[in-house]
Amino acid sequence: MPQVLLLPAILILLLGMGYPLVWQAVTSLQEFGLAQQFGQAAPFVWFDNYVTLATDPELWAVVARSLVFCVVTAVVTLVVGLLCALLMMVIGKAPRLILQIALLLAWAMPVVAAMTVWIWLFDRRRGVINYVLDMIPGVDMYRFDWLETPMTFFFVASVIVVWMSVPFVAFSSYAGLTQVSEEVLEAAQIDGATPWQRLKHIILPMIKPVITIVFLLQLIWNLRVFTQITMLQDAGSKSGDFDLLGTYIYKLGTRAQDFGMASAVSVLVLALTIALSWFYIRSLLKEDQS
């Protein structure tokens, strides 16, 4: 009976997600360009697209850049989100409510609207960030262009992505923290455990399943980040040095009209996602079996 009840949901997932996945896999084996968009048959080139990608240094630079960006932003988001969750546990009701409303507003803000505000903040001519930093003695930030070099560009992108992701981590972690037994914490405190020891040996192990799945989701989401990078590129440079995998695929498919190569990179992103998440999925499966 459980399998029968799951069958409709499985069929919907196969129809909604399976067809696009199969189409991507087949297209990645074809020469699919602008002519094919107007009905011309797409010839199979089999693994030529993958061979071309494997020998393309620009792709591997984008892959390395995307992985570093993904891991760094996921780790920072997890740390900041956990700190916010711990803060909500120790502060009073009124400050906690203010913090929760602020997090909800940040989380609920549409991406395009939020990006518009962030681009204004980092604007080289009228940005508040440059204005405030320029007021510090010895710091010259007059008309400093944050989007001019890859280092500062991805710093800004990381700040924005972390800001948008922290509320989800904070609320998820806070929900896990509310399930930690107060009696256990009080007993540990009576036995002489310091706050750090209680956090390390009691709280974190008890909310480990929540932390694990939240970190996994952040890795997946940050690997395929697109809107934030695209809008920052529109405000700054469109050079390939500022690309992550999402924008790289977009340029291959939409601008270069090479949908075969774009599909091949999409399959690569799927493989990277599975590789990044496999360790966590395996640990979750082991916990369920035990």
CA distance 2 to 6: 6
Written as one letter, the residue type at 94 is A
Cβ neighbours of 197 (radius 10 Å) = 13
On whether residue 191 sits in a domain, the answer given is yes
On whether residue 23 sits in a domain, the answer given is no
On whether residue 159 sits in a domain, the answer given is yes
User: Per-residue DSSP letters for 170-226?
Assistant: HHHHHHHHTTS-HHHHHHHHHTT--HHHHIIIIIHHHTHHHHHHHHHHHHHHHHT--
3-state secondary structure of 49: helix
Please report, for the domain that includes residue 238, its CATH number.
1.10.3720.10
Helix (H), strand (E) at residue 19:
helix 19-27
Q: Residue 174 sits in which domain range?
A: 58-289
Cβ neighbours of 127 (radius 10 Å) = 20
3-state secondary structure of 44: strand
Number of independent structural domains in the chain: 1
On whether residue 16 sits in a domain, the answer given is no
On whether residue 172 sits in a domain, the answer given is yes
On whether residue 127 sits in a domain, the answer given is yes
**Contact between residue 154 and residue 69 where contact means Cβ atoms under 8 Å apart:** yes
User: Per-residue DSSP letters for 229-244?
Assistant: HHHHHHHS---GGG--
Q: Identify the pLDDT of residue 98.
A: 92
On whether residue 28 sits in a domain, the answer given is no
Q: Identify the pLDDT of residue 289.
A: 65
Over its length of 290 residues, how does the chain's per-residue pLDDT go in tens digits? Answer: 888 999 999 889 888 888 888 888 888 888 777 777 777 777 788 888 888 888 888 889 999 999 999 999 999 999 999 999 999 988 888 999 999 999 999 888 899 999 999 999 998 888 888 888 888 888 888 888 898 888 999 999 999 999 999 999 999 999 988 888 788 888 888 878 888 888 888 888 888 888 888 998 898 889 888 889 999 998 877 787 888 988 888 888 887 778 888 888 888 888 888 887 787 777 767 766 66
In 3D, which of 43, 45, 44 has the Cα closest to residue 35? 43
Any idea what DSSP says for residue 149?
S
Cβ neighbours of 147 (radius 10 Å) = 20
Helix (H), strand (E) at residue 85:
helix 57-90
This prediction has a pTM of: 0.85
Contacts (Cβ under 8 Å, ≥6 apart) of 32: 42, 258, 259, 260, 263
On whether residue 49 sits in a domain, the answer given is no
**Tokens describing residue 112:** 């395009």
